Amino acid sequence: MINLTIDNQQVAVEPGTSILEAAQKVGARIPTLCYLKDINVIGACRICLVEVQGAKTFIPSCVAPVAEGMVVRTNTPAVLKARKLVLELILSDHPMECLTCLRNQNCELQDLAKEFGITEVRFDGAKTEYPADDSSPAIVRDPRKCVLCRRCISVCTNVQTVQALCAVNRGFDTLISPAFNEKLADMECVQCGQCSLVCPTGAIVERDDTAKVWAALADPKKHVVVQTAPATRVQLGEALGAEPGSIFTGQMVAGLRRLGFDKVFDTDFTADLTILEEGNELLQRVTNGGTLPMITSCSPGWIKFCEHFYPDLLNHLSTCKSPQQMFGSLVKTYYAEKEGIDPEDIYCVSIMPCTAKKYECQRPEMNSSGYQDVDVVLTTRELGRMFIQAGLDAANLPEEEYDAPLGISTGAGEIFGASGGVMEAALRTVYEVVTGETLENIDFEVCRGISGVKEATVQVGDLPVKVAITNGLGNARKVLDKIRAGEADYHFIEVMCCPGGCIGGGGSPIPTDIDIRLKRIDATYTEDERMALRKSHENPAVKALYEEFLEKPLGHKSHELLHTKYTPRGVNK
Amino acid sequence: MKSLDELAKIKENRREALKIREGFPSATEKAHVMMCGGAGCISSKCLEVVDAMKEALSKNGIADQVQIILTGCMGPCDMGPVAIIYPDATFYRRLKPKDAGAIVEEHIMKGNKIPRLMYRAPGAKEPTPNVKDIDLFAKQKKIVLRNNFYIDPTSIEDYIANDGYAALGKALTKMQPEEIIEEVKKSGLRGRGGAGFSTGMKWAFTAAASGAPKYVVCNGDEGDPGAFMDRSVLEGDPHSVIEGMAICGRAIGAEQGYVYVRAEYPLAIERLDLALQKARENGLLGKDIFGSGFNFDIEIRIGAGAFVCGEETALLTSIEGRRGEPRPRPPFPANAGVWGKPTVLNNVETWANIPEIILKGADAYASVGTEKSKGTKVFALAGRINNTGIIEVPMGTTLREIVFEIGGGIPRKKAFKAVQTGGPSGGCIPAEHLDTPVDYDSLGALGAIMGSGGMIVLDEDTCMVDIAKFFLDFVVDESCGKCSPCRIGTKRMYEILDNISKGKGKEGDIELLEELALMIKATALCGLGQTAPNPVLSTIRYFRNEYEEHIRDQKCSCNVCELKE
Amino acid sequence: MVTCACNASNDELTKQLDRIIDPYRGNPGGLIQVLTKAQNLVGYLPRRVQVQIAEGLGVSLQEVYGVVTFYAFFSLIPRGRHKISVCAGTACYVKGTKMVTKTLKDLLDLKPGQTTPDSRFTLEIVRCIGACGLAPAMIIDGKDVHGRLEPELIPAVLEQYA
Ligand SMILES: Cc1cc2nc3c(=O)[nH]c(=O)nc-3n(C[C@H](O)[C@H](O)[C@H](O)COP(=O)(O)O)c2cc1C
Ligand code: SF4
Ligand code: SF4
Ligand code: SF4
Ligand code: SF4
Ligand code: SF4
Ligand code: SF4
Ligand code: SF4
Ligand code: SF4
Ligand code: FES
Ligand code: FES
Ligand code: FES
């Protein structure tokens, strides 16, 4: 242990601990801006400076390791003054547009300005003026608001290994951007939005599509239906000020009704459906010698990643559409027919923890109903804003139930939102379908948790099924490289683009960090346990769907409506 | 090379051939013409002089009896092209192609030296023929530049003849690694790249660091505008750097070195590359050097135009092929350098001192200089001064001696105003401090720094606001942009200065500049930002009145700033 | 500029670049060296050159572009046949860099960073070319140093470069 003094308090910490972390132990909160635990530790912004006895300059606490006998002061007038001047400089190169900024009241820079009591910026020199990139359906970049903390680059490069962004130029002209100022829409960016999740300011935000939804709700001709992704119910509360881990399922349904949606449905329903289609696809591949391992396909960020970086492995992907897209094509066919509504009049809104789904719904393949299957995707953050705008006090709304039939679901559908959930749901079903026996213990603990690569062998009848589960694209890469090298003997792999799975998706409430992800995961499994039905093949509405409409898994209609194909895209094209 | 005997043999053979450069007439050769081939002299067209001379030699049928050797910068660039003619060591300056005939026919063939081409000390009636007698050189002491009047930088034999690689031989065959480090520590050598950290200590830390392999790096980025000492060493005596690095390799247990040279120095790169080849051919790099089992080799890495890459962590990143952005220290390169491995990084001039220390001993080295600053320092003298060029003086020489005795004072009878040391990281020193001895601590106390050795002399016509703005313009251009205080702060300082220089300054600007300057120094990530405000602070400290004049009276007494747009 | 590859057919350029890349294939550490050589070959670093280098060394185009735009030596746009680099190092500055740039600007109607419409000259500002003793100085085509410049002398210097 290393002993040091911080603000006159003795503290002992592990070697390698940063001053910042050590200070937290004695209750000293040091402000930060560029720092992002475990992801971006570069000491660039200089907001976290402290005084260390004997040092010639102030020391950035986020990067500086503790040393034996160190004497640290975190809040001397000199330190506070230096931090304030650094912040004043940052603000002198920032458009002061808080009132019209998506991150208003949820912005680390704004918080710092308030915390430091900035009342004046004395420098009126040049400001960074680069044009915004709003080419992407998922995210919008406005470099004027960028503080060059590089958190986005770190997450895109090190966590997602996409490397869509880099620092361009140098000095005051530094810009965060793709090479050659390419548009995010035209390159390898997978639209996962993880950058928007970590950006401390409004420099990268989700594309705000709420206006489209308000317009649809105002249009009397439109039959507006909404689907909510599994993860959203354990996220929405946070967007409205509740503690991480709060479950807002019933309140969300109630609020959506009050916003004026004609039907409130659940993506959990098509998640159950996905299990039947995908499970059967797996069984077919195993029996008929199809391409193995088979890999899940419900994460559009992951799909785009595979199309760019592993186009040679596309035949490993399940041909199943994501649950949100299955929902879209069913709502404009099955549901329209059933209710006698002209599909043209149906407006399908998705609430997703995800920015990539904004991109996904615009893919040309996603028109199997004859219309754009899903009209618009809102992230959890956007839905939160709609609730606030509409004056919905969500916490005090009565809990309401989803509409039938597309709102009927099981716990298996629910756990799709956490990494390992799709696998666990599939195992619950495949086991019973293959063995014909009832599964005693349906909790597959091996699938759960936040670690990047999970592996397990599950005995299904005679067959030891080898599975792998990854979250975060950097981890997907590890498994994909194994496949490429011919070293992967898995049957089935679950890949989720975002760290922790959808509960940590790019459209999640901000902040989202490891601890918050874990709380959402816990909430997810709590929801699962609360459900009466917890296996997809037991979902009565799904059974009815097959009986009334689809006939059987992997049948003709299924192929038309629920399955898709992929486009090899490559890089640097 | 497998043994010291082999080295001794090369030395013996070559010494004979070089006796002429020690003043002994030779039976077979009439003269060696050491023609300065430094950048300064090349731009003064020394190559045309060489051609004319070759022609004259052929015409007179003595081409095979005279060698013309292009050396590195000899120092007095302002007098270029310059040459020394051996055996009589006559120093000629301001040579023109048309002088070639006279030199060959009169001097070389008949022994009649040519007074009009010789140097004449200020106020002296008679010119000074022998290079050894020239006042300009008399005050200097050459350790780093020990070879540059004598050897052909493209000849490894010339280097060996002047005791080259003897220090490496000694280090490999007679010394333990710890002894080498001890010797370097004892010499008191401090890094010549700017910060002045003890070289021996740095080596000791790296030797003690865990992690393998280890690396040795030479910093030849020399980005300080107005400085070209390292260039002169690399062009004039590249083997001295190679030898120093190899000795360090032995001391710390490294087998690979890198020399990082800026792309703007093509001749230095060419000479160094050639020297590396020759060292390999002679077994002075490569496997089992001197039969000691020690392996060492060096690669060149070329900088691509970024001043910040002189900063050590940025340089290491640049060697790895990435954007040269500094990173926080710790970890220091001694623990995590190139490829994350323990690395010693020293400046070109630092390296060139090493062989001398090992060969002649730490005590001999430490006898030169002051108590805390040992040895000599090379400076690039430039600006409003008569003798511009490269000089090497013992530490502790006063600024007055440098400017007025070696540098010949200010041209056109103008008054001296200040000398700026340390370039964009340094500060200016006004007339009242001319008697300050040049060493790390004395300069630091004045708010200037030793820096890498750029020394720019400013006269009464220089506007100090303009000079401060010049340096800030430079750092704004060269800031890597990683940390906020430097990226935005230097820009804001520049903007304030720019306003002042355009007659748009406001009351309070000086105080705001000072506030910003002190904050940037205390908060920036790397040395660039931490020192960037120095020129402003020091010009405010000594010439505040000039700032006030610009702001209050919208006037520039030196007529440099265009106050009305 | 060893050969002007702009005119070489694309296949030929690809081959020549491959020859530069080969020693470093799959080794990101060679990026700056490869870029330097590629720029010497082509004269500048257009997108397709950067793409080929990125793929050859196994790094992303973003990584390459970030490096290219960091270092002053690299250029994204074609340069003139002759590069005039005016020294704005300290020694030259105090002895008249402003005069040199102004004269060049008047003669060539060029700002630093620009190229004449006839592609004859590109003008750039550099910091110290190591000829401080001859300040103010400029260097043309990276090798010819012209020192002790005065306004009247500059036209004759330019004459030498067609
Ligand atoms: C912005 C900046 C530029 C530097 N440029 C150089 C340089 O061009 N050459 C050099 O040797 N050291 C330079 N240094 C100092 C190096 O970081 C380092 O201290 C030095 O090379 C170590 O060698 P030494 O101990 O032999 O001096 C620079 C430092 C900074 C902060
Ligand atoms: S200096 Fe920057 S990185 Fe370090 S703690 Fe402060 S805000 Fe974070
Ligand atoms: S990014 Fe933050 S500080 Fe900037 S305008 Fe938006 S809310 Fe305000
Ligand atoms: S806080 Fe001040 S600036 Fe902001 S809206 Fe209110 S009155 Fe206006
Ligand atoms: S959306 Fe994802 S892939 Fe695209 S830039 Fe952001 S982090 Fe990278
Ligand atoms: S875009 Fe956001 S995350 Fe990226 S560097 Fe700028 S402020 Fe930081
Ligand atoms: S992948 Fe995630 S967001 Fe998409 S449907 Fe499944 S759980 Fe919902
Ligand atoms: S993991 Fe979920 S949130 Fe992330 S891209 Fe995939 S579907 Fe969207
Ligand atoms: S001080 Fe300047 S050069 Fe150094 S890291 Fe900060 S921005 Fe880069
Ligand atoms: S938070 Fe430590 S430097 Fe940015
Ligand atoms: S270049 Fe010849 S003396 Fe300096
Ligand atoms: S300052 Fe111009 S050559 Fe050095």
Token reading at C93: 């500055």
- Helix (H) or strand (E) holding B352, with range, is helix B348-360
Phi, psi of C19 (to 5 degrees): -65, -35
Q: How far apart are CA A509 and CA A488, in angstroms?
A: 36
C151 shares a domain with C112: yes
Q: How far apart are CA A128 and CA A74, in angstroms?
A: 31
Chain C nearest CA to B77, separation (Å): 5
Across A89-117, average pLDDT: 97
Q: Find the A162 Cα to ligand 12 centroid distance in Å.
A: 43
Phi, psi of B554 (to 5 degrees): 45, 55
- Helix (H) or strand (E) holding C157, with range, is helix C154-159
**β-bridge mates for residue B419, sequence order:** B429, B457
Domain closes at, from A91, A114, A136: A91
Query: How does DSSP classify residue B2?
Result: -
Cβ separation of B306 and C146 shorter than 8 Å?
Answer: no
C51 shares a domain with C120: no
C146 shares a domain with C88: yes
For B183-311, strand residue ranges (E) read: 214-220, 254-262, 286-289, 294-303
Q: What are chain A's partners, defined as 3 or more CB pairs within 8 angstroms?
A: B, C
Residue C88 lies in a domain: yes
A224 shares a domain with A193: no
Clarify whether A135 is annotated catalytic: no
Domains of chain B listed by start with CATH number: 4-133 (3.40.30.10), 156-366 (3.40.50.11540), 376-455 (3.10.20.600), 464-552 (1.20.1440.230)
Token reading at A536: 């997809």
Q: Find the B42 Cα to ligand 11 centroid distance in Å.
A: 8
Domain closes at, from A91, A107, A136: A91
Q: What does the angle CA A202 – CA A206 – CA A211 come to, to the nearest 5 degrees? A: 105
Kindly name the residue from A45, A298, A320, A361 that is annotated as catalytic: A298
Q: How far apart are CA B288 and CA B427, in angstroms?
A: 47
Sign (positive or negative) of CA dihedral A224, A225, A231, A236: positive
**Which residues are CB-contacts of B352 (< 8 A; sequence separation ≥ 6)?**
B144, B233, B237, B240, B241, B244
Across B227-248, average pLDDT: 96
A503 shares a domain with A517: yes
Residue B243 has pLDDT above 50, yes or no: yes
SS3 A548: helix
What CATH number has the domain bearing residue C88?
3.40.30.10
Token reading at B367: 């006898």
A257 shares a domain with A195: no
Token reading at C1: 């500029």
Q: What does the angle CA A102 – CA A105 – CA A111 come to, to the nearest 5 degrees? A: 120
Residue B455: the pLDDT is 93
Q: How far apart are CA B410 and CA B405, in angstroms?
A: 11
Q: What is the pLDDT of residues B444-480, one digit of tens each?
A: 999 899 988 999 999 999 999 999 999 999 999 999 9
Q: What is the pLDDT of residues C66-123, one digit of tens each?
A: 999 999 999 999 989 999 999 998 889 988 999 999 999 999 998 888 899 999 999 9
Q: How confident is the model at residue B124 (pLDDT cuts 50, 70, 90)?
A: confident
Residue A272 has pLDDT above 60, yes or no: yes
Domain closes at, from A206, A235, A265: A206
ipTM for the predicted complex: 0.95
* Alpha carbon separation from B389 to A61, B76, B310, B378, B459 (Å, rounded): 45, 5, 22, 10, 17
A379 shares a domain with A433: yes
Q: What is the pLDDT of residues A310-347, one digit of tens each?
A: 999 999 999 999 999 999 999 999 999 999 999 999 99
Q: How far apart are CA B429 and CA B436, in angstroms?
A: 9
Q: What is the pLDDT of residues B400-439, one digit of tens each?
A: 999 999 999 999 999 999 999 998 999 999 999 999 999 9
Give the total number of structural domains in chain C.
Answer: 2
Q: The domain containing residue C27 runs over which residues?
A: 10-70
Please tell me the number of Cα atoms within 13 Å of A395 on its side-chain side: 8
Across B235-253, average pLDDT: 97
C87 shares a domain with C52: no
For the sheet with C121-126, list strands across it. Answer: C121-126, C82-87, C138-140, C144-146
Helices (H) and strands (E) in chain C, counts: 7, 4
Q: In 3D, which of B480, B263, B232 has the Cα closest to residue C83?
A: B263
Nearest residue on chain B to A67, alpha-carbon basis = B330
Q: What is the pLDDT of residues A17-54, one digit of tens each?
A: 999 999 999 999 999 999 999 999 999 999 999 999 99
Q: How confident is the model at residue C162 (pLDDT cuts 50, 70, 90)?
A: confident
C101 shares a domain with C58: no
Which of A152, A157, A195 most suits a substitution to test ligand 5, by most atoms within 8 Å of the C-beta? A195
Q: How far apart are CA A558 and CA B127, in angstroms?
A: 103
Q: In 3D, which of A177, B470, A518 has the Cα closest to residue C65?
A: A177
- DSSP-derived secondary structure for A499-520: TTSGGG-TTS-S---HHHHHHH
Question: Beta-carbon neighbour count of residue C86 at 10 Å?
Answer: 24
A198 shares a domain with A223: no
A250 shares a domain with A170: no
Residue A17: the pLDDT is 97
Residue length, chain C?
A: 162
Q: Are B471 and B535 in contact (CB under 8 A)?
A: yes
Token reading at A383: 């839905």
A131 shares a domain with A75: no
Q: How far apart are CA A170 and CA A24, in angstroms?
A: 34
C86 shares a domain with C57: no
C66 shares a domain with C95: no
Q: How far apart are CA A419 and CA A471, in angstroms?
A: 6
A138 shares a domain with A85: no
Cβ separation of A179 and C50 shorter than 8 Å?
Answer: yes
Phi, psi of B520 (to 5 degrees): -60, -40
C95 shares a domain with C33: no
Give the total number of structural domains in chain A.
Answer: 3
Residue C2: the pLDDT is 40
Q: How far apart are CA B491 and CA B510, in angstroms?
A: 15
What CATH number has the domain bearing residue A330?
3.40.50.1780
Q: How far apart are CA A162 and CA A34, in angstroms?
A: 20
**Which residues are CB-contacts of B533 (< 8 A; sequence separation ≥ 6)?**
B490, B493, B516, B517, B518, B520, B521
Cβ separation of C66 and A163 shorter than 8 Å?
Answer: no
Residue B290 has pLDDT above 70, yes or no: yes
Residue A573 has pLDDT above 90, yes or no: no
C87 shares a domain with C60: no
C66 shares a domain with C93: no
A329 shares a domain with A276: yes
Q: How far apart are CA A230 and CA A503, in angstroms?
A: 8
Q: Are B459 and B410 in contact (CB under 8 A)?
A: yes
C90 shares a domain with C43: no
Residues contacting ligand 9 via CB (< 6 Å): B 308, 326, 479-483, 486-487, 524-526, 528-529
Kindly name the residue from A206, A238, A360, A424 that is annotated as catalytic: A360
B273 touches chain C (CB under 8 A): no
SS3 B262: strand
A220 shares a domain with A191: no
Residue B128: the pLDDT is 94
SS3 B40: helix
Cβ separation of C71 and B380 shorter than 8 Å?
Answer: no
Residue C77 lies in a domain: no
| Ligand 3 contact, A145 CB (< 6 A) | yes
Residue in the block written with tokens 């300290």: C90
Chain C nearest CA to A183, separation (Å): 13
Residue C3 has pLDDT above 60, yes or no: no
Q: Are A175 and A168 in contact (CB under 8 A)?
A: yes
B43 touches chain A (CB under 8 A): no
Residue C5 lies in a domain: no
Residue A113 lies in a domain: no
Q: The domain containing residue A301 runs over which residues?
A: 211-562
A485 shares a domain with A399: yes
Residue B564 has pLDDT above 80, yes or no: no
Token reading at B228: 């070209």
Residue C143 lies in a domain: yes
Across A504-523, average pLDDT: 98
Residue C64 lies in a domain: yes
Q: Are A69 and A4 in contact (CB under 8 A)?
A: yes
Residue B66: the pLDDT is 97
- Helix (H) or strand (E) holding B520, with range, is helix B509-523
Q: What is the pLDDT of residues B309-327, one digit of tens each?
A: 999 999 999 999 999 999 9
Q: How far apart are CA B196 and CA B204, in angstroms?
A: 16
Residue A571 lies in a domain: no
Token reading at B130: 């022998």
Residue A572 lies in a domain: no
A322 shares a domain with A235: yes
| Amino acid type, A329 | S
Q: What is the pLDDT of residues A183-221, one digit of tens each?
A: 999 999 999 999 999 999 999 999 999 999 999 999 999
Across B167-175, average pLDDT: 97
C30 shares a domain with C62: yes
**β-bridge mates for residue A296, sequence order:** none
Clarify whether A243 is annotated catalytic: no
Please tell me the number of Cα atoms within 13 Å of A519 on its side-chain side: 15
Chain centroid to CA A237: 16
Token reading at A409: 């679901």
SS3 A20: helix
Name which of C127, C138, C145, C153 to mutate to probe chain B: the one with the most chain B Cβ atoms within 10 A of its Cβ.
C127
| Amino acid type, B172 | L
Q: Are A280 and A554 in contact (CB under 8 A)?
A: yes
Q: What are chain B's partners, defined as 3 or more CB pairs within 8 angstroms?
A: A, C
Q: How confident is the model at residue C4 (pLDDT cuts 50, 70, 90)?
A: very low
Question: Beta-carbon neighbour count of residue C15 at 10 Å?
Answer: 11
Across A354-377, average pLDDT: 98
Q: How far apart are CA A571 and CA A164, in angstroms?
A: 10
**Which residues are CB-contacts of A289 (< 8 A; sequence separation ≥ 6)?**
none
What CATH number has the domain bearing residue A65?
3.10.20.740
